[in-house]
Amino acid sequence: MKSRCFVNHPGFLILWGDIFQFAITPEQRKAVLADLNHRSMLTADGAARAISLDRDPALLPGLVWTLRHGRRTHNRVEAAYALGFMTGTEGTAALESALSNKSENTKVRAFAAETLAHRHRRGSHAVLLRNLQDPSREVRFWCAFALGQMREKKASPALSRLPAILRRCDESHRQRPKPASESASSQ
């Protein structure tokens, strides 16, 4: 089944899924990596999906570069997503580094943790365990998810406390007073 990812490229429209049914040329590789770092979220998403279908190892250095230096948050998020489909330890190390980088955007770090659930090495477990204490709920959630997927025994105590923590969050959310606009509309 062919992908239907349309990607705008200067001067013409590329159907990445159709191109990736065959071996891609170095020029096409450059173009898809440029689209991964495009200002449009739709274009970057299409490029990441195309990369996930192709899995060409020659794309790995460009993906790692985009994860580390992408222009916008969505470019780095899409690079983290696409790295989940690649082989080799270089991509895994880059994901671990992005997750551990506290100055990186929370969405990028969360996507890196989620991707590590599917693509990890032994050292990834320690990185995910350390980030269970992260200030960001989103990062903590995806680290817990990844560790659960890996069936990491060292995470069991932290994961066993998770239902109680989620229950407390849910209870505190229900006890909050409704904003005036919501209470007026419900009457």
Do residues 119 and 84 lie in contact, with contact meaning Cβ atoms separated by under 8 Å? yes
pLDDT score, position 171: 57
Residue-number span of the structural domain to which 22 is assigned: 1-87
In a domain, 113, yes or no: no
pLDDT 10s digits, 95-153: 999 999 999 999 999 999 999 998 877 788 899 999 988 999 899 989 988 888 887 67
In a domain, 163, yes or no: no
In a domain, 38, yes or no: yes
Position 33: which residue type?
Answer: L
Based on the structure, what is the number of domains in the chain? 1
pLDDT score, position 116: 93
In a domain, 61, yes or no: yes
pLDDT score, position 121: 78
In a domain, 22, yes or no: yes
Average pLDDT of the segment spanning 33-50: 94
In a domain, 93, yes or no: no
Question: Which residues are within 8 A (CB) of 92 and not within 5 positions of it... i.e. 6 or more apart?
Answer: 83, 116, 119, 120, 121, 124
Say which CATH number the domain at 38 has: 1.25.10
Checking if the pLDDT of 71 tops 70, the result is: yes
Position 179: which residue type?
Answer: P
In a domain, 145, yes or no: no
Q: Greater confidence, 124 or 174?
A: 124
In a domain, 8, yes or no: yes
